[in-house]
Chain A
């Protein structure tokens, strides 16, 4: 056979580096988020200093226009971001993977109908879809935002799952599994899910980041978590008016947001390579 395999092995060190940085960024976020359940630097609801104070030893990132400690708002925002990201991806993944697998196994007609429906759903921008759902629910709450984002994600995940699963289902080991007497459910659990998981998990991380950003956007537009729950998006919105006088107010939540999203992507990248037995030394 004439196959020219021109790929050269990628160095393994790069993967572990992206894994460690990702772990550090996401881990910090998780630790901080959990910590806020028990302790915050200051009372998040009441003023603890003057209005719009500049960063100081007492208030590391200054205070907002009501005199509340800004760092406290940001660490609570970390909790919100984590809840939104995890919740939205959990909803999106469970609905999306189920639908995608069903579509991959479905008859031609049903599969076509599902594929078309998903394409239409995906054609709507995630944010617009989320805004519609939030607007439809009686009051803007964190949970309606999560549900909305989860539904939007499920369409994307379903489409990806369908394509990936179809590719796996074409392999001979699926036929071998079927003729070994394995049930369809067994085939899904034993072969399909493990083989589509690496690509899916990277996508989940991506969706997590996008959900966090989308929630920030919803909050920015006033459709996200209502006031006592600090959210990075709302902090950004509130900092808008004072961005020239107190730039830290806009920069700090922005950095937190970017760090979490990047961390999530690096983590997924690293995890994919660690979990794949075929990576590394072949032949």
Chain B
């Protein structure tokens, strides 16, 4: 069985600058992989390229095969079908990812309705409503009914990110892409969201592409990592191996820095 996502020689250019250069990796179904990089590393560009969401003035070459279909050069209509069915994205800032003028329940209902219509040929209202509440419950939001009737600004940042995750789950994607999903959140909220993501991924068997600059955070949710700098993949391997024996100096610097802050906190926790 071939990989769920297979990226070969991906190169992204914009305005004469190469943002991602000859990147290759693959993710099997149910696998959890992390992309680690600092600002300008091209990690978000890579995620956007996988979903085919990059604007037209950015050139993408190479091959991205997602669930058996080529993304590079595909028509938008074609991609729209692929997005949602094969992949869904959770972004860093949930407030901008949600429509501020639409009630949360309604926003989640949209992908649910599409999926039901696709799977069963119809989407009865009762079924959609039930599924929306189920999803809100699944992401451990208290009082799903109240949240469904609220607008995005009326709930907390952590709750908004839970809503964004519920929306992503509504599609039942085979691959969930999470782009710095906890960076904008408080530490205690981050811990909750990471736990939630981890649990959901394990439970549903989704594959996960987790993008972050934060090494310990990545280590908590994925098995395998790739380290990016300036659009170039420096190394790839199992989290434990890469963090224990980095083969590249840059990775060593990052690991040392993360360990320094870690050690300052002592061995507790």
Contacts and interface: CB of A to CB of B under 8 A. Distances in A.
Co-complex (A, B): yes
B213 interface: yes
Contacts of B213: 1
A4 interface: yes
A57 interface: no
B45 interface: yes
A120 interface: no
Interface in A7-24: 7-9
Given A1-B183, A1-B213, A6 B55 contact: yes
Contacts of B211: 2
B63 interface: no
Interface residues of B, number: 17
B116 interface: no
A3 B183 CA distance: 13
Contacts of B15: 7-9
Contact of B179 (A2, A7, A8): A2
B48 interface: yes
Given A8-B14, A8-B15, A2 B57 contact: no
Secondary structure call for the A interface: loop
Interface string B24-61: 00000000000000010001110010000001011000
B57 A6 contact: yes
Contacts of A4: 44-45, 48
Contacts of A1: 39, 180, 183, 213
A2 B55 contact: no
A144 to B, nearest CB: 49
Interface of A: 1-4, 6-9
Interface of B: 14-16, 39, 43-45, 48, 55, 57-58, 92, 179-180, 183, 211, 213
19 contacts: A1-B39, A1-B180, A1-B213, A2-B44, A2-B92, A2-B179, A2-B180, A2-B183, A2-B211, A3-B39, A4-B44, A4-B45, A4-B48, A6-B14, A6-B57, A6-B58, A8-B15, A8-B16, A8-B57
